[in-house]
Structure 1
């Protein structure tokens, strides 16, 4: 992808990040969900929290090296988010997180591309919002 394309994508992604929390809070928390979807959302939360913990542990011990195990964990999160039908862009977020761990140095060398990779604390916040949705229903 060329520089201009990445810049446009990053601008769109930054705007998306700003509105995601608002949309999730307003739209998802108030929507009624089935028992089956509750289970799938719960599985998504657990998968994201597990991947976050493994990622933090890996970064603290090994830094930013390619890690196929982390790529697999983040792809599992993506699969579960799609199955839970959460939408609101969470799938894109998880997709980029998985891609990052395939070759982190390539991403780290391009600061504008790093805007596409969600921060672990942002994903923790998304899990908190999903948990609020489960509690309300």
Structure 2
């Protein structure tokens, strides 16, 4: 949401009557019943930049986006005026990161090594250091 129009979110009912910027084709299990009957108005866009632009122009009251992605986009696009945005303390939902590989190649050995290295990166702090670059 915008700092000048704060929204305190703790439950879906806090968003009743609000217009929320969302990703086209994305599902939001917690809010989908509210979107279905328009108790919360869904406003889809194809990109994070477009969703943030709608919010900045006050065409929406809030947006549901991945925080790390938003922080990265705001760093890349100074015209979005990073200082005007604020994040809810409570997330609307959580989704894990996933990697997809083509089935035309046997990726199992690579995936096994990748997962082992990812565990090491979490343990020694390298992953956190990388993630901080996007904040």
Q: Normalised by the shorter chain, which TM-score bucket?
A: under 0.3
TM-score (norm: length of structure 2)? 0.23
Larger Rg: 2
Higher strand share: 2
Q: Which structure has more RCO (C-alpha within 8 Å, separation ≥ 6)?
A: 1
Higher helix share: 1
